[in-house]
Structure 1
Amino acid sequence: MGYSIDPISADCYKGTTCLINKFGIKDEKKLSQMETLITTAKCKELEVNPIDGDFGFEHYKAIHKYIFEDLYDWAGKVRTASISKKGTIFTLPESIEPLADRIFTGLQKENCYIGYDNNQYIESIVDFYCRTNMLHPFREGNGRTQRVFLTQLIRHSGHDINFSTIDTDELMIATIQSANGIVDYLRNLFRESII
């Protein structure tokens, strides 16, 4: 978790920073533990049985819904609160849908990068990763959704990636740098990890 939020529409229990959830858990640490258990299992299920889709925004939202529907009523729905994390301010709620339309329509126009040469492919994946990271369309669970979607996209385009082999701290540093326009670290991580 760890987002800075708009307290007026934070989707949290009154007087806490704990997200309202289907278990009624009001302790952030306990919710985080429950969330980790459930979402880890759901992400593993999607490794074996990916959600069918056309790699549009509805497909992206369906993945989020599947991963988080046991925890939150808003799973798969675009957030209504403004959020930031580690100094990065993400897309404002009212701009998410139009920006998502441009990002995912662009992906589909490019035929999911199928047939691209290696350098062009890596650049395209890095660009897509950066754009969807800044989009951050959900109240929680953006990184997990992004990694599941990207894994499915990369496999669809004839390549493979295993995010579990990427050091999470390195990916976090690369993601923060990319949010500030520096993509070298992220590019290198993807170049080493995509086969």
Structure 2
Amino acid sequence: MPDENGFIDPYLIRGNNVLVNLVNAQTQEELLYAECLLVTYSSAQLRGEHLEADGTISQLCSIHHALFQEVYPWAGKFRTVDISKGGQTFLPVAFLETGSRYVESILRQDNMLKDMDRETFIKRLSVNYDNLNNLHPFREDNGRAQRIFWELIAHDAGWHFDWGLVTKSFNDQASITAMRDDNLTLLIQMFDTIVKPLDEPLVAGPNPKALSNGEYVPTQTIGIMLDPAEYPSLFERYAGKNAKS
């Protein structure tokens, strides 16, 4: 159904808020269950391939496609609608190509985060992680693709992530705070918790843990129609963040 502005999200099944999918799921619960089964297997398979990082958005697209190709017909493809999550608007579609080039250029300037001591690696990783998170190029499931993307970067730089030492809610809050407030403190804190040298074993696993008391509730990404009048302020906001990278 159209939203209050008359916008119809083409990614949703007509008549409900479930994403168009390849598993015939008609409810959010059915979709999440199928996702969990299929993507858990795809993630393990992808991590087992030991890919070499190239630091490109093209590689991120390939990762997203590998993870979600059995779930979504648009897996690995740039979104065609503007999106928001938790009240935060991600980079508008009109800026995705420019934003992608910027993300890649900063990562190249940082030499793919290689040859850094741990403190510098964590600080520059936080900057680059925030840059990519602002991009959010896919309609849904950006986070899981991004985590594998950064795992490849980290591995080639001599590090790996013990993701299970942080909760999903802390991961979300760190990302939101960086994006909303231009404050990387929580991201730096998160990575300081999970970044380990490759010769130090992981103890908690490859995925952020959900809270055992059921407190964590995932926030759904929604498609939106931005007013063109909003573009200048959004462009200024992202340009300001980029200038500090």
**Alignment TM-score, normalising by the size of structure 2:** 0.73
Q: Is residue 96–residue 137 contact of structure 1 (8 Å, CA) maintained in 2?
A: yes
Q: Could you tell which deviates more after superposition, 17-26 or 139-148?
A: 17-26
Structure 1 residue ranges without an equivalent (≥5): 1-5
Q: Indicate the residue corresponding to 1:101 in structure 2.
A: 101
SS in 2 for 1:49: coil
Q: In the TM superposition, what is the alpha-carbon distance from 1:53 to its structure 2 partner?
A: 4.8
Q: In the TM superposition, what is the alpha-carbon distance from 1:51 to its structure 2 partner?
A: 3.8
How far apart in 2 are the matches of 1:50 and 1:136?
24
Q: Could you tell which deviates more after superposition, 41-50 or 128-137?
A: 41-50
SS in 1 for 2:84: strand
SS in 2 for 1:19: coil
Identity percentage over the alignment? 26
How far apart in 2 are the matches of 1:111 and 1:162?
23
The structure with the largest helix share of the pair is 1
Q: Indicate the residue corresponding to 1:162 in structure 2.
A: 162
Q: Indicate the residue corresponding to 1:3 in structure 2.
A: none
One-letter code of the match for 1:124?
R
Q: Indicate the residue corresponding to 2:186 in structure 1.
A: 185
How far apart in 2 are the matches of 1:40 and 1:32?
12
Structure 2 residue ranges without an equivalent (≥5): 1-5, 197-245
How far apart in 2 are the matches of 1:75 and 1:146?
14
Q: Is residue 55–residue 104 contact of structure 1 (8 Å, CA) maintained in 2?
A: yes
Q: In the TM superposition, what is the alpha-carbon distance from 1:25 to its structure 2 partner?
A: 1.6
Aligned length: 190
Q: Is residue 76–residue 138 contact of structure 2 (8 Å, CA) maintained in 1?
A: yes
Q: In the TM superposition, what is the alpha-carbon distance from 1:176 to its structure 2 partner?
A: 1.4
One-letter code of the match for 2:126?
V
Which entry has the higher C-alpha Rg, 1 or 2? Answer: 2
Structure 1 residues 90-134: Cα deviation after superposition (integer angstroms, max 9, x where no partner): 011121121011111321243211112222211110011111111
Q: In the TM superposition, what is the alpha-carbon distance from 1:52 to its structure 2 partner?
A: 4.2
How far apart in 2 are the matches of 1:139 and 1:56?
19
One-letter code of the match for 1:58?
S
Q: In the TM superposition, what is the alpha-carbon distance from 1:10 to its structure 2 partner?
A: 3.5
**Alignment TM-score, normalising by the size of structure 1:** 0.91
One-letter code of the match for 2:174?
A
How far apart in 2 are the matches of 1:68 and 1:160?
23
Q: 1:53 to 1:175 in 2, by over 3 A?
A: closer
Q: In the TM superposition, what is the alpha-carbon distance from 1:30 to its structure 2 partner?
A: 0.4
How far apart in 1 are the matches of 2:30 and 2:70?
15
